[in-house]
Chains A and B, each alone.
Chain A
Amino acid sequence: MSWAFLRDLLSGVNKYSTGIGRIWVAVVFMFRLLVYVTAAENIWKYEHDEFECNIKQPGCENVCFDHFFPVSHIRLWALQLIMVSTPSLLVVFHVAYRENREKHHNQKLYRNPGKIDGGLLCTYLISLILKTGLEIVFLVLFYKLYNGFKIPRLVKCDIKPCPNTVDCYISKPTEKMIFLYFLVATSCLCIVLNLSELSYLIFKYSIKCYLKRYTKKQQ
């Protein structure tokens, strides 16, 4: 069980997406998943070992690290990737439900089970709203947990058992900050893509509805 599972899942979603949806999948693969696996994971690999405090008191380093990093950046990043990719499964499930229904009734109920119309359109819109919402939630979480997107070189810690205010040094703060900004930039790009896809679909289907009603009136 690894990221390859998520990759296969998302490839399945690609089939039922619009053009903007496919661009979103490509951005998630190339700029988020691939960057995470090939580069970011290694930066945070030894963050605890390399976290150093100017004190010999046993336990002080552990306590200070836990205080400043309740949840590590890299774990939040991984959670964000998983949560943000999951709403797309709703669409896959709905299409599978449609196909199952056709099989059960042994007749063609839909012109094309994978086409985005009717109930599937609602599911698709809900998945887009959920994706955008989750992205924003995680960005706010990052901001609140770490007081902005900056990683300082030095943090001062005075929690027991540290005997006084102790200087603690974070490893590779600049590199971590660069990748954090990269994460924020790609998140924002994904939010923009989701919002444009949402507006495009709402606009397209309201025009369709309006035209249908107009031709009915004419008849």
Chain B
Amino acid sequence: MDWGALHTILGGVNKHSTSIGKIWLTVLFIFRIMILVVAAERVWGDEQDDFVCNTLQPGCRNVCYDHFFPISHIRLWALQLIFVSTPALLVAMHVAYRRHEKKRQFRKGDQKCEYKDIEEIRKQRFRIEGSLWWTYTSSIFFRLIFEAVFMYAFYFMYDGFRMPRLMKCNAWPCPNTVDCFVSRPTEKTVFTIFMIAVSSICILLNVAELCYLLTKFFLRRSKKAGNSKQQPNHEDKEETKQNEMNELISDSCQNTVIGFSS
């Protein structure tokens, strides 16, 4: 059970996403999860072992490390990725529910069901409309919120996105203000900025997808409204035509009757 399992779960959602959604998923897996697993974890791997304080006082290093890193960058990123991927499960559950309903209809032998066999239902791709549109849009909205919250938490906890080389610590049991040196600060800064940049790209993609869905929704609505307005005029014209024809027929009938009677 690892990130690969998440990939399997979210891969199913990919089929029912918009194109922007598919790009977002690709960016998530390649530029965030893969970078986290393959590179970032190695960089932060020895973070406590190589965190060195200029003192021999036992316990000072532990306490200073805990003071400056309440939660490690790498764990915060892992949590962020998990929380950001979870809303997609809402869509997966909704699609599974719809499939289940269609299979039930098919098994009952409902004539309204337009599928030939169960395999077709399993492979079918649902369009994002109706209640699925609401589920999809709320999932994007939650994604945005989680991304923003984590980015803010990062900024707040670490006073910006830079990793300093030296930290001064005077927490007990350190006997005085002690110099503590972080391991690989530049490499960590580079990766932090990279992960923040990719997070921002993901936020932009989500905003674009949200705007796209809203635009589609309003366009569809205005088309429907437009169609329903045209139909009454059309019906009026037909009615007047039919009335004229009826009058002509009744006139011609009257004439024939008069003709016969005379």
- Chain A residues close to B by CB (< 8 Å): 2-4, 6-7, 19, 22-23, 26, 29-31, 33-35, 37-39, 42-43, 46, 50, 52-55, 153-154, 167-175, 178-179
Q: Evaluate whether A7 and B1 lie within 8 angstroms (CB atoms) in the complex, with A30-B82, A53-B58 already known.
A: yes
New A-B pairs, 18, CB < 8 Å, besides A154-B59, A171-B66: A2-B1, A3-B1, A3-B2, A22-B93, A29-B1, A29-B5, A34-B5, A35-B79, A38-B78, A42-B74, A43-B75, A46-B49, A54-B59, A55-B58, A169-B58, A171-B62, A172-B48, A174-B71
Name 28 interchain pairs, CB-CB below 8 A, sorted by A: A7-B5, A26-B89, A26-B93, A30-B6, A30-B86, A30-B89, A34-B1, A35-B79, A35-B82, A37-B1, A38-B2, A38-B78, A39-B79, A46-B48, A52-B59, A52-B61, A53-B59, A54-B59, A154-B173, A169-B59, A171-B65, A172-B48, A172-B72, A174-B66, A174-B70, A175-B69, A175-B75, A178-B70
Instruction: Tell me whether B63 is interfacial, beta carbon within 8 Å.
Output: yes
CA–CA, A2 and B57, complex, Å: 41
Q: Which residue of the partner chain A has the closest CB to B171?
A: A153
Query: Does B3 reach chain A (CB closer than 8 Å)?
Result: yes
Q: Which of B190-247 contact A (CB under 8 A)?
A: none
By beta carbon, the residue of chain A nearest B77 is A39
Q: In the assembled complex, which residues on chain A have CB atoms less than 8 Å from the CB atom of B89?
A: 26, 30
User: Which residues of B are at the interface with A, using a C-beta cutoff of 8 A?
Assistant: 1-3, 5-6, 9, 48-49, 57-59, 61-63, 65-66, 69-72, 74-75, 78-79, 82, 85-86, 89, 93, 97, 173
User: Within the complex, what minimum Cβ distance (angstroms) separates B23 from chain A?
Assistant: 23
Q: How far is the CA of A168 from the CA of B62 in the complex (A)?
A: 10
Tell me whether A38 and B3 are in contact (CB under 8 A). yes
A178 contacts B78, C-beta separation under 8 Å: no
A43 to B3, CA, bound (A): 18
C-alpha gap A33/B58 in the complex (Å): 35
Separation of A56 and B2 alpha carbons in the complex (Å): 40
Given contacts A169-B62, A170-B62, A171-B66, contact A39 B5 (CB under 8 A): no
Contact of A173 among B2, B9, B58, B66 (CB under 8 A): B66
Please report the C-alpha to C-alpha distance between residue A39 and residue B75 in the assembled complex, in whole angstroms.
5
Looking at chain A's contact residues, the main secondary structure is helix
- Give, as a whole number of angstroms, the nearest-CB distance from B150 to chain A: 13
Residue contact A38 to B62, C-beta cutoff 8 Å:
no
Question: Which residue of A6, A22, A54 contacts B1 across the interface (Cβ within 8 Å)?
Answer: A6
Chain A positions within 8 Å of B61 at CB level: 52
Q: In the docked arrangement, what's the CA distance between A29 and B82, Å?
A: 11
Q: With CB as the reference atom, state the residue of chain A lying closest to B173.
A: A167
CA distance A4 to B2 in the complex (A): 8
Residue from A4, A31, A169, A174 with most neighbouring chain B CB atoms (10 Å)? A169
State the CA gap A22–B9 with chains docked (Å): 14
A52 to B1, CA, bound (A): 33
Q: A175 and B82 in contact (CB under 8 A), knowing A4-B5, A53-B58, A169-B59?
A: no
Measured CB to CB, the closest approach of chain B to A181, in angstroms, equals 11
**Do the beta carbons of A172 and B65 come within 8 Å of each other?**
yes
A38 in contact with B66 given A4-B1, A54-B58 (CB within 8 Å): no
Taking the closest CB of chain A, its distance from the CB of B80, in whole angstroms, is 11
The answer for the CA separation of A214 and B59 in the assembled complex, in Å, is 73
Chain A residue contacts of B72, Cβ below 8 A: 43, 172, 175
User: Closest residue to B4 on the A side, CB-wise?
Assistant: A4
Taken together as a complex, chains A and B put the C-alpha atoms of A53 and B58 apart, in Å, by 6
Residues from chain A with Cβ under 8 Å of B63 in the complex: 153-154, 169
In the complex, the answer to whether B1 meets A171 with C-beta atoms within 8 Å is no
- Would you give the shortest CB distance from A211 to chain B, in whole angstroms? 21
